[in-house]
A and B are shown apart, each in its own frame.
Chain A
Amino acid sequence: MNAWIWGIVGILLTPVVAGLVGGIDRVITAKMQGRMGPPVLQPFYDVMKLFSKQNLVLNRFHHDLVICSLIFTVAAVGLLFAGENLLMCIFALVVGNVFLVLAAYSTNSPYSMLGADRELLQMLAAEPMILLAAVGIYMATGTFDINLIASGTHSAIQYLPGVFFGLIYVLTIKLRKSPFDLSTSHHAHQELVKGLSTEFAGPSLALFEIIHWYETVFVMALIYLFFASRPIVGIVAVLIVYFLEILIDNINARVKWDLMLASAWVITLIFGLGNLMLLFILK
C-alpha cells in the first residue's frame, strides 16, 4: 500500500519539480549568455498556453501515439517512486520513447522523419550505458529492487565511479542538451527545424514537454540512486550534475550523429564496462 502512495506522489510531484527545475535552468542559461532570462515559472506558462491552442493532428495515430508515450513515461516514473524493479522502469521509459519516435514517423514530414531517425540513434547511444548503470547498481548492492537500493546502507557510487561518469556523459543525450541535442532541442530551431517535434502543435507539443519533464526526473532519480544511503549528498549531487549539464550545454555546439554515437559507445565501453569488469574481478 505504501508503494502505491509513493508512486502516486511521485507522479503528481514530478511536473511541479521538473517545471521549476526547467525554469531555473532557463534563468541560469540566460545568465551564462549575458541575458535576463524568462521568469522561473515560464515552463508552466508555456505548457498552459500550448494546451489552450488548437490541436493540429496530422493523422489519427499522431496524437494517440503521443498519449501512449506519456502513459509509459509516467508509468516508468511511477514505478520508480513506488520502489519497483529498476530494469522494468528503464524498459518502460524506453517504450515511452519508442512511441514518441513512432508519433514522429507517422507524420511523413521530412524534418520530423529525420528527427525520429536521430532519436533512434540517440537511444542507441544512450540506452547501453543506462542499462549498464542498472547492472552496476545490481552488482554493487545485490538487487534490482529500488526499495532495497534506496534503503541500503552503503552507496553504489564507491564501487561505480566509472559507471557514474559514463551516465553523466549520456545524460546530455537524455536531457536533450548541446552537444547531443540532435533529434530536437530546447531552442527555437536547429538544422532540422525542431526535429522530432516539428509536427507537434498545441496540446500535442504540451504533452511532449510534459513527457520530457518526466524523463528529466527519471534520469535525475537514477543519479540519486548512486548516493541512496545519504539523501542530502544525493540531492546535492543531482543539483551539481544538473548544473554541469547546463554548463556543457553552453560551451558546446551541436555535433554530428556519428561522433555522438562513437563517443557514447567508447565511453560506455571504457568507463561502463571497464568499471563493471573491475568490480567483477575484485569482488
Chain B
Amino acid sequence: MAKRTIVPFGPQHPVLPEPIHLDLVLEDEMVVDVLPSVGFIHRGLELLCQKKSFQDMVFVAERICGICSFIHGVGYCQGIEKVMNLDIPKRAQFLRVFWGELSRVHSHLLWLGLAADAIGFESLFMHSWRVREKVLAIFEETTGGRVIFGAAKVGGVRIDISQDKLDQLAIALDEIQKEYEPLAKVFLEDYTVQHRWSEVGYLSKEDAHQLGAVGPTARASGLPQDMRKLRYGAYEDLEVEPIVETAGDCYARCVVRVKEIYQSLDLMRRVIHKIPAGEIETKVTGFPQGEYFSRVEQPRGEVVYYVKGNGTKFLDRFRVRTPTFANIPPLLQMLKGCTLADVPAIVLSIDPCISCTER
C-alpha cells in the first residue's frame, strides 16, 4: 500500500470561487477518501426571520445566493403564499417563470464558462460569459438589477413587463440562442473537452438516488428528477420534460446543462406566447399562520423552503435546504478514485454554490 498523505483543498483555493474545505486523503495521486467541512461563510440568515417582517424576508431570501437569487425569492414567496392561501394572478406566475428560466440560462452559462476555465479553455470561458452578458442586460432592462432583482414579492411580482417589451425580448432571446449555438457545439463535440471530462467523476444511478443527488447532477446519472414536474406556479400550463443523460460522468453533467439552456430559452418563448393579461399581484392582508414545504427547481437542483408562521408579522421558522447541500454527499462519492488533478473539475461539476449551502 502506498503512503497516505492528506492534502488540504480549500477553503482558499484559486480554482474555487467560494470557501469549502475538503481534506483529500491521497495514495500517491489517487484520492481514496474525502472529508468535507463547511461553515466558513455562515451568515445566520435563517435567524433573521425573527427580526424582519415576513415581507422583508424576501430580500433576505434573494440574497442567499448571488446567481439563482430570483428563484430563491420565488421559493420563499411561494411558501408564504401557500400558508396564507393567497391566489396569485396568472400573469405574475408567468413572469416568475420567465425570470426564473432566464436565471437558469444565466446560471448555466456562468457554470459553462467556469468549467471551461477549469480545464484550461480560456477562450470558451470568455465567450460563454460574453453571451451571459446579454442575459444580464435583459435582467437590467426589465428589473433594474443585473444579479439581484428584487422582483418577487409575497403575493405576486413587483414589476410588470409590457407586451411590446416582451416582443422585443423574444427577438433578444433568438439572438442569444444564435450566439450560443456555436459554443454549445464546442461543449458537445470538441475533442479536448470530451477528453477531459468523459469517465471522470462517475456517479451511478443507484448512488445518485441513495445519496440524494438533485438537479443536473441527478439527471446526468439517469434520474429523471425535476421539480418543475410538480407543476408549481405557471408550470401548470407549461409542459417540461426533464433532460436526462445516463453516463453519470462530468461530461454528462455538462451536456445536461448545455441542453437545459435550449430548453429554458424555449420555455421563455412559450411564456411570451402564452402570458395572459391582468394583475401582477394580489393584496396581502393578515399574517401567515401555519407551515409549508415549498419545493422549486433551481439551476443547481431542488431547493426546499420550510416556512412556519405564528400569526404575527414575524415567522417562527425559516429553513432552506439548498441543492449544493444535497449534492455534497454525491460529490464525495465521485471524488473517490480520481486523481488530484481531477479534483477541481469534479468539484466544479456539481456547480457548487457554497454561499447557498451555508446560508
Residues of A within 8 A of B (CB): 29, 32-35, 110, 114, 178-179, 181, 185, 187-194, 250-256, 259
- Whether A179 pairs with B192 at a CB distance below 8 angstroms is yes
Chain B contacts for A252, CB-based, 8 A? 121, 192
- Whether B196 pairs with A255 at a CB distance below 8 angstroms is yes
- Whether B122 pairs with A190 at a CB distance below 8 angstroms is no
- Whether A187 pairs with B120 at a CB distance below 8 angstroms is yes
Per CB-CB distance, the 7 closest pairs between chain A and chain B, nearest first, are A254-B120, A33-B126, A189-B14, A253-B192, A253-B121, A250-B123, A253-B119
Nearest-CB residue, chain B, relative to A185? B120
* Interface: B342 (CB within 8 A): yes
- Whether A178 pairs with B121 at a CB distance below 8 angstroms is yes
Distance of A259 Cα from B191 Cα, bound (Å): 12
* Interface: B130 (CB within 8 A): yes
> What distance in Å separates the Cβ of A103 from its nearest Cβ neighbour in chain B?
20
- Whether A254 pairs with B123 at a CB distance below 8 angstroms is no
Distance of A179 Cα from B124 Cα, bound (Å): 13
Residues of B within 8 A of A (CB): 5, 7, 13-15, 29, 116-127, 130, 190, 192-193, 195-196, 340-345
- Whether A192 pairs with B123 at a CB distance below 8 angstroms is no
Nearest-CB residue, chain B, relative to A193? B14
- Whether A33 pairs with B192 at a CB distance below 8 angstroms is no
Distance of A193 Cα from B344 Cα, bound (Å): 10
- Whether B126 pairs with A191 at a CB distance below 8 angstroms is no
- Whether B341 pairs with A192 at a CB distance below 8 angstroms is yes
Given A33-B126, A178-B122, A189-B14, also A254-B196 (CB < 8 A): yes
Chain B contacts for A254, CB-based, 8 A? 119-121, 192, 196
Contact for B120 among A110, A114, A253, CB less than 8 A:
A253
Chain A contacts for B344, CB-based, 8 A? 191
- Whether B195 pairs with A187 at a CB distance below 8 angstroms is no
Given A114-B340, A193-B13, also A181-B120 (CB < 8 A): yes
- Whether B14 pairs with A250 at a CB distance below 8 angstroms is no
Distance of A255 Cα from B340 Cα, bound (Å): 15
- 23 residue pairs A–B, Cβ–Cβ below 8 Å: A33-B123, A33-B127, A110-B5, A114-B341, A178-B121, A179-B120, A187-B117, A188-B14, A190-B15, A190-B120, A191-B119, A191-B341, A191-B343, A193-B13, A194-B14, A250-B123, A251-B123, A253-B116, A253-B192, A253-B196, A254-B192, A255-B196, A256-B195
Chain B contacts for A256, CB-based, 8 A? 195-196, 341
- Whether A259 pairs with B195 at a CB distance below 8 angstroms is yes
> What distance in Å separates the Cβ of A278 from its nearest Cβ neighbour in chain B?
30
> What distance in Å separates the Cβ of A9 from its nearest Cβ neighbour in chain B?
35
